[in-house]
């Protein structure tokens, strides 16, 4: 199938947000044998939506819409398509119940505007909205498959994963299926990784190897086309091994892994617990670790010691250490890690102190970071110099801490 993705929303044309929905849908469609040839963004205007559809259906047999399914008057995607192709809109019973249940459970009555979100096309397949109210639809009409998805990114993503992708899989009658495996790398840039694998990437077609720079990491997506599950797995395994032989030391996980989930996993494996002492990250490490289900078995507690006083009074860092070496120092990181481990009674203590910026601190440049890791026997301190804005430095600092935990664990193996 040849596809166009039409995002509907005046906020996109005003430049308030980027069309990340188009990107996400594109990246998912590749797994279903769909070629995306065009992205279009139009405003909340019925005539312009219809113009876009008229042009799109000349060239493509799959048109995916995102946005314009909400309750307000300027949500017009359904209406524009219905009027253009002359297929009437009807309420989907299950979707209507979903909307009604939402409001009645909150002691409110459903407005007509909100009921609109349960409208679909006569004869359409309905996509349930697992993360919101507006249902999606898939309608075949005169050789074109129209799929309508909501605009809020979380609703759209959930619907793509749980509704659109399974639906498209049933349309793929060749028996061929796509299977992907994502390899996650930390500590190596996209171009370096690509340079080390260039011959493989160029030569290989099944699986294909697609590098992509992610947030603070690089991923490789291996995608195999097969009719047989066991063969698909064998092909993926063989390619993974070739890649591992060259850049294995940067590989930290697969698919939905994150540095946080891997760090927790490693700690749980050895029945270790951990406590955090954070200055530069201000609670970001604890927050990211505890965002993972089951974290309560591993993360005992944490301290956010943003001020020097708090480092002394809460963690027992010696005032003399701060006076002599500064709060951003190897010595302070060491005492923070030992202090938090001691106070929380955990197996491990981890501490972060550094300079997030925008201004330098204690004569140290923005990006300076010390990570202390105490395990009761010894306390190791790692120095890093990170680049980026205040926001990226804080985020990367928390990830560096996880990476240090993973490296410590590897060393111990």
Q: Which of residues 258-317 bind a second copy (CB under 8 A)?
A: 276, 278, 281-287, 289-291, 293, 295-296, 299-307, 309-310, 313-314
Q: Give the residue with the Cβ less far from a second copy, 71 or 318.
A: 71
Task: Tell me the H-state helices in 248-307.
Answer: 259-269, 284-290
For residue 103 the two structure tokens come to 């409001």
CB of 123 to a second copy, least distance (A): 28
Residues 61-100 that bind a second copy (CB under 8 A): 70-73
Nearest to 172 by CA among 136, 151, 145, 205: 145
Q: Give the residue with the Cβ less far from a second copy, 125 or 257.
A: 257
Residue found under tokens 């999606």: 136
Alpha carbons 223 and 296: distance in angstroms, whole number: 35
Residues 1-30 that bind a second copy (CB under 8 A): 10-20, 22-30
CB of 13 to a second copy, least distance (A): 5
Q: Give the residue with the Cβ less far from a second copy, 124 or 132.
A: 132
Is residue 381 a contact partner of residue 330, using CB atoms and an 8 Å limit?
yes
Is residue 148 a contact partner of residue 87, using CB atoms and an 8 Å limit?
no
CB of 358 to a second copy, least distance (A): 6
CB of 413 to a second copy, least distance (A): 28
For residue 353 the two structure tokens come to 């102190």
Is residue 355 a contact partner of residue 367, using CB atoms and an 8 Å limit?
yes
Residues 120-179 that bind a second copy (CB under 8 A): 131, 152, 154
Sole binder of a second copy in the list 59, 231, 246, 410 (CB under 8 A) = 59
Nearest to 204 by CA among 255, 172, 242: 242
Alpha carbons 274 and 249: distance in angstroms, whole number: 25
CB of 222 to a second copy, least distance (A): 12
DSSP 8-state secondary structure symbol assigned to residue 160: I
Sole binder of a second copy in the list 221, 334, 399, 403 (CB under 8 A) = 221
Question: What track of x and - describes contact with a second copy for positions 181 through 220 (by CB under 8 A)?
Answer: ---------xx--xx--x---x-------xxxx-------
Q: Considering CB under 8 A, how many residues would be counted as binding a second copy?
A: 92
Q: Give the residue with the Cβ less far from a second copy, 272 or 287.
A: 287
β 35-42/89-91 pair status: unpaired
Q: Is 246 helix (H, G, I), strand (E, B) or coil?
A: helix
CB of 191 to a second copy, least distance (A): 4
Q: Give the residue with the Cβ less far from a second copy, 204 or 287.
A: 287
Question: What track of x and - describes contact with a second copy for positions 328 through 347 (by CB under 8 A)?
Answer: ---------------xxx--
Q: What is the CA radius of gyration of the chain?
A: 26
The yes or no reply on residue 247 touching a second copy (CB under 8 A) is no
Residues 363-392 that bind a second copy (CB under 8 A): 389-392
Q: Give the residue with the Cβ less far from a second copy, 139 or 148.
A: 148
Residue found under tokens 């998912």: 28
Angle at 401 between CA 396 and CA 403, to 5 degrees: 90
Alpha carbons 213 and 283: distance in angstroms, whole number: 26
Alpha carbons 51 and 45: distance in angstroms, whole number: 10
Is residue 137 a contact partner of residue 127, using CB atoms and an 8 Å limit?
yes
CB of 23 to a second copy, least distance (A): 4
Q: Give the residue with the Cβ less far from a second copy, 87 or 292.
A: 292
Q: Give the residue with the Cβ less far from a second copy, 225 or 314.
A: 314
Q: Give the residue with the Cβ less far from a second copy, 16 or 170.
A: 16
Residue found under tokens 């498959």: 145
Q: Is 64 helix (H, G, I), strand (E, B) or coil?
A: strand
Sole binder of a second copy in the list 38, 46, 115, 196 (CB under 8 A) = 38
Is residue 57 a contact partner of residue 93, using CB atoms and an 8 Å limit?
no
Residue found under tokens 């963690």: 315
């Amino acid at each position: 199938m040849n596809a166009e993705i039409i995002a509907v929303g005046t906020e996109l044309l005003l430049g308030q947000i980027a069309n990340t929905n188009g990107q996400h849908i594109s990246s998912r469609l590749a797994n279903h044998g769909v070629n995306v040839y065009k992205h279009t963004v139009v405003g909340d205007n019925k005539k312009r939506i219809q113009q876009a559809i008229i042009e799109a259906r000349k060239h493509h047999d799959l048109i995916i819409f995102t946005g314009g399914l909400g309750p307000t008057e300027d949500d017009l995607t359904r209406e524009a398509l219905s009027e253009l192709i002359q297929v009437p809109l009807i309420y989907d019973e299950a979707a209507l119940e979903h909307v009604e249940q939402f409001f009645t459970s909150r002691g409110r009555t459903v407005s007509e505007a909100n009921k609109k979100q349960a409208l679909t096309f006569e004869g359409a397949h309905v996509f349930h909205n697992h993360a919101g109210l507006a249902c999606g639809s898939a309608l075949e009409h005169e050789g074109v498959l129209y799929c309508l998805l909501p605009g809020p990114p979380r609703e759209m993503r959930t619907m793509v994963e749980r509704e659109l992708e399974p639906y498209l899989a049933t349309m793929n009658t060749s028996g061929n299926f796509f299977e992907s495996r994502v390899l996650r790398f930390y500590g190596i840039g996209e171009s370096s990784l690509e340079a080390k694998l260039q011959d493989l990437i160029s030569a290989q077609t099944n699986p294909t190897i697609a590098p992509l720079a992610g947030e603070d990491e690089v991923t490789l997506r291996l995608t195999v086309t097969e009719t047989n599950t066991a063969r698909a797995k064998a092909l993926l395994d063989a390619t993974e091994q070739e890649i591992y032989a060259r850049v294995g030391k940067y590989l930290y996980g697969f698919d939905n892994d994150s540095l946080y989930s891997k760090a927790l996993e490693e700690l749980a494996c050895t029945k270790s617990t951990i406590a955090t002492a954070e200055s530069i990250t201000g609670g970001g490490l604890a927050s990211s670790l505890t965002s993972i289900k089951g974290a309560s078995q591993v993360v005992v507690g944490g301290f956010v010691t943003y001020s020097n006083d708090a480092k002394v009074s809460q963690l027992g860092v010696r005032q003399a250490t701060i006076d002599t070496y500064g709060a951003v120092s190897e010595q302070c990181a060491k005492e923070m890690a030992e202090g938090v481990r001691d106070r929380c009674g955990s197996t491990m203590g981890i501490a972060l102190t550094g300079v997030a910026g925008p201004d330098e601190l204690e004569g140290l440049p923005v990006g300076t970071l010390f990570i202390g890791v105490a395990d009761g026997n010894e306390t190791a301190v790692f120095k890093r110099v990170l680049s980026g804005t205040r926001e990226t430095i804080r985020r990367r600092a928390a990830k560096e801490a996880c990476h240090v935990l993973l490296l410590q664990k590897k060393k111990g193996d």
